[in-house]
A and B are shown apart, each in its own frame.
Chain A
Amino acid sequence: MMKFIHAADLHLDSPLTGLSSYADAPVDRLRTATRDAFNRLVSRAIEEQVDFMVIAGDVYDGDWRDFNTGLYFVRQMGRLRQAGISVYLLHGNHDAESEMTRTLELPDNVHTFSARTAQTFRVEHLKVALHGRSFRSAAITENLLPGYPNPVSGWLNIGVLHTALEGHAEHARYAPCSLAELRARGYQYWALGHVHQRWIERGAVTIAYPGNLQGRHIREPGPRGALLITASAGEIVDVEVLEVDVVRWQTLDVHIGEISDRSGAIRAAGLALEQALGAAPGELPLAIRLRFVGRSAAHMDLVADEVQLRQEMLAQAVAIDPDRLWIEKVRVESSAPDSQIGASLGERKGTLTDLARLMLEASEDPSLLSSLHDDWRLLLETLPPEVLKASADLRALRQDPMVAAPQWLQRAAPLAMGQLAQASARASES
């Protein structure tokens, strides 16, 4: 019986993105999340007394320049060395790109797969053979698999590979190969890296992506971590998931279909936050994107002042647990009931309806579009590239305002109508 850990895509010191900090946000807990997650993994490895650890690429972000990250990695390797745990390290596309990779001096318990050719490390006392080939440069687009050696018969053969396996289209197509090829190679276990979403196929051959250790933005939601593999007599016996993430991303849909006013919607959101927090394990903090969905009379009120809405949601989060909740974004993706806005445009009823109808025609007015463009440019041209990179909407607007404009106008209309409704309510109150 032996145990090893399969991890990949550590992306140490890769920042969490999309979280704008606010007073009482749990910043300190989250700023070193990737490191903390890796710390936890190393501690688990030591606790579990695993025989070795396999890291299937992407220890750092390719464009991350702080050598401290490398030194930190060396220190963690040192912890494993003290515990007598070997590490089999494969360089992925990010590692190949990182200038740290070549300079860093790793302790002697770390065995790095060669980039020139597929290399085999034999662990005699365990009868384990690890086969792998590191990336020499980031842009490896050929299939590396054919160069992998034949299995050592009677031993446990582990293939370590950084690859965009077929079917994982959202990741860059580095070192592509197919499942069939992997199954046919004669190894018992394929320790893959590169795809950030956990994926495991158990069978005669076990093929697994452990996913990254820590989600870094809203597109990497849910639990994250590594795999603890148990093998016996050359066979994989068990694959256990080790969740080590220190903050978890979640998109939280607040259904407001049954709710008719703004404060009700905000209460519902608060309740949803509490429930999400209750469902999260232990003291784990959550980074949450709140999405109001459903068809509701409250929609117009919500949409009328999203700035205020965000503030109120932050206040809710702080009230519930400022140490464990971080609101990433608040999106109103609900819609108004037919009766509220002139949905049946065939009938022309009332001046407000006329106005709403007119608004729908706005995107057809080129002079409006051009003056809007002038307005937008004032801001868009001062935005730093990082901001454009962070927001797809802004990027699209900057790249081609004429294409993006109708969508922006469409989203502005409810805001304008909502404001009108509020102004009208204010007038009738006074």
Chain B
Amino acid sequence: MRIAEFNLIRYGRFTNRSLRFQAGDRDIHLVVGPNEAGKSTLRAALCDWLFGIPVRTPLDFLHPMPELRVGGVMERRSANADAGERLAFHRVKANRNTLRTPDDGQLADGILLPWLGNLQAQTFQQMYALDHGMLLKGGAGILSASDDLGRMLFESASGLEDLGGALRVLQKQADALWAPRKAQSRAYYQARETFEAAGAELKQAALRTRDWKAQHDALNATGAQLAAARAEELRLRQQRRRLERIRRVRPLLLALDEARAQRQALLAEGEVPLLEMEAREVYSRATHHIALAEAERARLEHTVEEIQEQLKATPVDAALLGLRDDIREFNERRLQFRKHRADLITRGEEVSLEWVRVQELAAGLGFPASSEEAIRQRLPAAAQRARLDKLIRTRPELAVALASAEASLLNLQGQIERAQAEQLQLPGETVDPDLKSALDKAAELGDPAQRAEELRLGIERASERIEHALAALGPWRQPPDALRSMVVPDKAQLQSLLDQERAEAASEKAARDALDAKMREVARLELDLQQFVRAFQPISREQLVEARNARDQSWQAIKQAPQSLADRAKTFEAEVVRADQLADDRLERAQYEADRQAKAEALEHRQRERDNLEYQRERARMANLQRVADWDALTASCGLPALPLAAAQGWFQLRREVLELEAERWMMARSLAELREAAARYSAQLWRGIGRSGAEPPVPDLVFCVREARALLAEADQAQGQRKILTQQIAQGERELPKLQKARQTAQERWAEWSQSWEAAVQSLGYEATVAVDQVEAELLVMQQVEQRLERIRSIRSERIETMQADLDGLATTAESLRARIAPELAGWQPEAIALELAERLDRAQQAESEAKKLRVRLEQSQAAGDEVRRRLEAIRAQLAPLMAAACAHDDAGLRRAIERSDARRAVEERIQALEHDLIEAAESVPMEQLREECERVGADAAAEELAQLEPAAIDTIDRIASLSNAFGAQKGTFEALDGHDRAARAEAKRQEAIAAMAESAEQYLRIQTAVRLLRWSIEKFRETSQGPMLSRASSIFSRLTLDSFRRLLVDSVNTHPRLICVRPDGAQLDVSGLSEGSRDQLYLALRLAALELQVEQGYTMPFMADDLFINFDDERTSAGLRVLGDLSQSMQIIFLTHHDHLVPLARKVLGDALNVVQL
């Protein structure tokens, strides 16, 4: 297959770039392009065309990813050119259907299969493309595989450099799985360890059937032994029980027999009635009660006799007791009236005293004091005295009312008069009406002096600031008027000028910087070039020509003067040698020279750029100068010569400030003048208003005038107020005057009325009409006292004295009556004494009566108690009766004996019963006969002895049971612990897992190991089959590439590992490792090209791309290489990419017209 045409339609930096590869005798094409011209892009494009554009590609920087497209025509050569096949197709970037016809019809992917076979992009790159880097790698690979010829040949033939790597990876994988030496890191041995551990675990956890059976049997055997021991123990226990029973029962039997004999003896004495168990107790209790009751009865009889004696010695006075209430009432009255006789005397004296006092008072009044009645008649009637008394009490009130009315009237009249007088004394009311309005206006003006001062200061400050601002204007200072009339450019215009200046300065600076950088670069390149020349000393054509000229001149000189040959020969020879040397060196250092030229060209290029930059900078500078001149003209026209543009904006600002300050100062000066004029005007007005105009020619200042005017106005206001108040007071007084006059008149009338009544009343009592009120009042008081005392005397007589006398008389009557009835012997005694005596006698009689009563009660009680005791005795005896009957006894003694016998019989019976009960218990259900028999058969001593003998056997048996029971328990526990756990099953599962892991590791290991062996084997096979043809081709190519430095290649197969040997023309042999680096690269190239040739022979051709392969070769070797490629191109297409123009003439010379040169 070859490529006839290739189109970079949209790919990398290319657009519709078409390359044609016409085939001649030879199919070799030199694609020339400087560095970065896109050689590598072309390589990638070819590969992408054939095998598809990868998903990600860096070549979409110009054309977007989906639009990338390459196309071309491939063809197959045939002997008959017309019969050759062609296929034109495009490749686009897409996910599918990337093959298109040139007019964008779809093509099946399979259409390339007949052309490319199973070739992959990667293999294509490895096998059919070769660049300098790959050549170096290949050379290194040859070195590393120098002891493995198969690998060397395979790697060279396939372009695959890492066969060794593949082998290593496989070997490493195999090694991680298994190796003869055990290691923890190897999977197989890890699994085997688990396997062994699980096996051990299984063995430990598994329970063998026979083990289980053994344990089971052992458990059963122990169980049986345990049962036997328990049976033995039971037997021993029973025997012991029998012997112990005999020991227990024997004394009981003896005692029983004895008791039964006793009962027999008792019954033999006769019938023994068995009384109740309590009989003895009942009998003794009854006897005791009877004795107690008899003693009680004797004591009671004696008491009755004593009481009857006492009763007889106690008499009772019945008559006296019959009058008991009368005597008591009589005695109580005596006690009530006990003080009457003394009282009668006291009251008589009181009456006498009152009477003496009445006589004295009556004498004072001038009444006759003969008797009480006489005095009473002289006393005036109570009604008259009451009337006088009332008049006397109303008099002071009337007198006070009269005096008060008169005083009020006088007071009011006085007030009215005083107010009228004050009113007359108030000043008049005359103030100028304009004064007030003038005052208000002056007040609005405030303090004119202070304001004037402030304004003056403001003007001063403004002047100072104007002066400062003017000073700041600097050399362009002018008076404000001139400033105001000046025409200046506006702000926007100024700003645009400034922007322009800034931009120009920046561009000039940039130009300067670029120029500096460029100059540095030029200097660096110059230095670089100098150093390069110094280091590599490339020989320029001029040097060579010069040397040859020198040589030729010498030769000409010698020719012209052959005689001088001897002298000049030496110089000439030296010149010949020098020229040849230079020619050789030049050839050898062709690459350096090429590089030098490239560097010189680059330097020149930079120098041109530098010149260009210098021109740009100069242009910028000129523009700047022009702009400055324009500005100067503008400032001069404004009258501001040489004002810099940068300062202009500030200066115009200052000018505006000066003008503003000036305006401000002028405003303040005007305000000050107006203020002063207004102050003078208001002062004059006020002065006039106060009323002082004319008298004092200089009018005082406004403040003083205002103060005076305010004081005047305040005084006038105060007088006006007082006058109003006084007028109101007078009117009020005159309204109240008639009311007070009426009140005085009423008081006078009431006084006159009282005087008349008084006179009438005193006259009716016999006083003179003119009698003093005080005298009448005093005498009325005395009369009242007289009357009161008389009344007192009467009251004492009737209410006290007479009542007491009546009581005493009644007492005497009662005394007499009682004495006559019960105590005639007391005749002549005072009634009080009689009462006392009778009361005492009554007390004594009452005491006797009470005593007798108590005695009778006690008597009755004692008699009743006696009866009770007798009844009790009978009851006790009745209780004993049944006992008597049961005992067939007729008396106490009989009864007592019967009871004793009964008790004896009962005791015997109980003993027998108890013994029988004990026997039954001790017998443990053994029949009595058997017991008697046992006891008779075994003596007491024999039983004890036998028991003692049994004891050790019993202990022994119990011990055996204990130990057997322990053993049984332990065995049972162990046995029951065999609960069917799953530990063995789990261990087995683990074991199986390990087995699976081991099997898996083993299988994998074997596969990988087999793969390693297979790979090695097949490489070796490859060597065997391709060594001969490949080496024979490579030999000739290698020889040509090294310009016959080596004659041929051969294989040294003496050793186990065959080795490649390079043979020099003189027959010397060199190992691959002994080759120089360059020769090794050439060997690799030879092998590669040989492999390609072999493939061509096998009918499989692909274009071969060589990318600047000979970059390190000199011209001669380059020629040799080109020649080899030229030969190869007779059978396959060679596309040689280079960026060295100088290769073109060389290649044309070597390959002739067959070479197709394509400029990229």
A interface residues (Cβ-Cβ under 8 A, vs B): 13, 15-21, 27, 30-32, 34-35, 65-75, 99-100, 103, 305-307, 310, 328-329, 338-344, 347-355, 358-359, 361-362, 365, 368, 371-372, 375-376, 378-380, 383-384, 386-387, 390-391, 393-394, 397, 408-409, 411-413, 415-416, 419-420, 422-428
Contacts and interface: CB of A to CB of B under 8 A. Distances in A.
Contact of A68 (B117, B207, B1013): B207
Contact of A383 (B125, B162, B206, B1002): B1002
Given A32-B986, A355-B1019, A415-B1008, 8 more contacts: A65-B206, A67-B211, A338-B118, A355-B1018, A358-B1018, A420-B160, A420-B166, A424-B126
B989 A31 contact: yes
Contacts of A73: 980
B991 A15 contact: yes
B169 interface: yes
6 nearest A-B residue pairs (beta carbon): A71-B980, A72-B980, A20-B997, A423-B166, A31-B989, A351-B158
Contacts of B990: 21, 27, 31
Interface of B: 113, 117-119, 122-123, 125-127, 154, 157-158, 160-163, 165-166, 169-170, 173, 176-178, 180, 191-192, 195, 202, 205-213, 978-986, 988-1000, 1002-1015, 1017-1019, 1021-1022, 1025-1026, 1091, 1095, 1098, 1100
A371 B195 CA distance: 30
Given A68-B207, A355-B154, A307 B173 contact: yes
B982 A13 contact: yes
A424 B304 CA distance: 161
> Which secondary structure characterizes the binding site on chain A?
helix
Contact of B1003 (A16, A69, A103, A393): A393
Nearest to B1006: A376
Given A340-B118, A365-B1017, A384-B195, A419 B1011 contact: yes
A425 to B, nearest CB: 7
B126 A428 contact: yes
A415 B169 CA distance: 12
Contact of A423 (B163, B1018, B1091): B163
B119 A349 contact: yes
B151 to A, nearest CB: 12
A30 B1021 CA distance: 50
Contact of B993 (A21, A35, A361): A21
Contact of A306 (B162, B1004, B1095): B1004
A368 B1010 CA distance: 10
Contacts of A354: 1022, 1025-1026
A306 B1000 CA distance: 11
B209 A423 contact: no
26 contacts: A13-B988, A15-B988, A20-B997, A27-B993, A70-B980, A71-B980, A307-B176, A307-B177, A307-B1008, A339-B118, A348-B1098, A351-B127, A361-B1021, A372-B1010, A372-B1013, A375-B1009, A375-B1010, A390-B992, A393-B1003, A411-B1007, A412-B1007, A416-B1018, A419-B1011, A420-B166, A423-B166, A427-B160
A425 B166 CA distance: 11
Contacts of B170: 415-416, 419
A353 B118 contact: yes
Contacts of A338: 118
Contact of A69 (B166, B985, B1004, B1013): B985
| Residue from B176, B985, B1017 having most chain A Cβ neighbours under 10 A | B985
Contacts of A355: 154, 1018-1019, 1022
Given A353-B118, A423-B169, A103 B996 contact: no
Contact of A342 (B118, B989, B994): B118
A68 B160 contact: no
Contacts of B177: 307
Contact of B982 (A17, A35, A380): A35
> Which secondary structure characterizes the binding site on chain B?
helix
A306 B1007 contact: yes
Given A19-B993, A68-B984, A419-B170, A349 B117 contact: yes
Given A13-B982, A397-B1006, A66 B117 contact: no
A72 B982 contact: yes
A351 B1098 CA distance: 12
A319 B253 CA distance: 97
A173 B578 CA distance: 106
| Residue from A73, A103, A350, A372 having most chain B Cβ neighbours under 10 A | A350
A391 B1006 CA distance: 13
Contacts of B1012: 416
Contacts of A358: 1018, 1021-1022, 1025
Contact of A409 (B173, B178, B984, B1014): B1014
B1007 A415 contact: yes
Nearest to B128: A350
Given A66-B984, A423-B169, A425-B122, A390 B995 contact: yes
A107 to B, nearest CB: 13
B992 A17 contact: yes
Given A390-B996, A394-B1003, A409-B1014, A420 B163 contact: yes
B993 A420 contact: no
A409 B1009 CA distance: 10
| Residue from B125, B127, B207 having most chain A Cβ neighbours under 10 A | B207
B166 A422 contact: yes
A337 to B, nearest CB: 9
Given A67-B207, A351-B157, A413 B984 contact: no
A20 B118 contact: no
A222 B799 CA distance: 149
| Residue from B211, B999, B1007 having most chain A Cβ neighbours under 10 A | B999
B787 to A, nearest CB: 137
Nearest to B215: A67
B783 to A, nearest CB: 140
A387 B162 contact: no
A393 B209 CA distance: 35
A358 B1039 CA distance: 31
Contacts of B1006: 376, 379, 394, 397, 408
A248 B917 CA distance: 82
A419 B169 contact: yes
Contacts of B118: 338-344, 349-350, 353
A423 B205 CA distance: 50
Contacts of B1018: 355, 358-359, 362, 416
A359 to B, nearest CB: 5
Nearest to A74: B980
Contact of B984 (A13, A344, A351, A376): A13
Contacts of A387: 995, 998-999, 1002
A241 to B, nearest CB: 26
Contact of A329 (B212, B979, B993, B1000): B1000
A342 B117 CA distance: 9
Nearest to B176: A307
Given A32-B982, A412-B1014, A391 B999 contact: yes
A26 to B, nearest CB: 12
| Residue from B113, B209, B997 having most chain A Cβ neighbours under 10 A | B209
Nearest to A12: B985
A157 to B, nearest CB: 34
B158 A349 contact: no
B1002 A20 contact: no
A349 B1005 CA distance: 32
B1028 to A, nearest CB: 15
B1011 A412 contact: yes
A415 B990 CA distance: 31
A427 B1091 CA distance: 20
Nearest to B984: A66
A420 B1015 contact: yes
Contacts of A306: 1004, 1007
Contacts of A30: 989
Nearest to A305: B173
B160 A379 contact: no
B1002 to A, nearest CB: 6
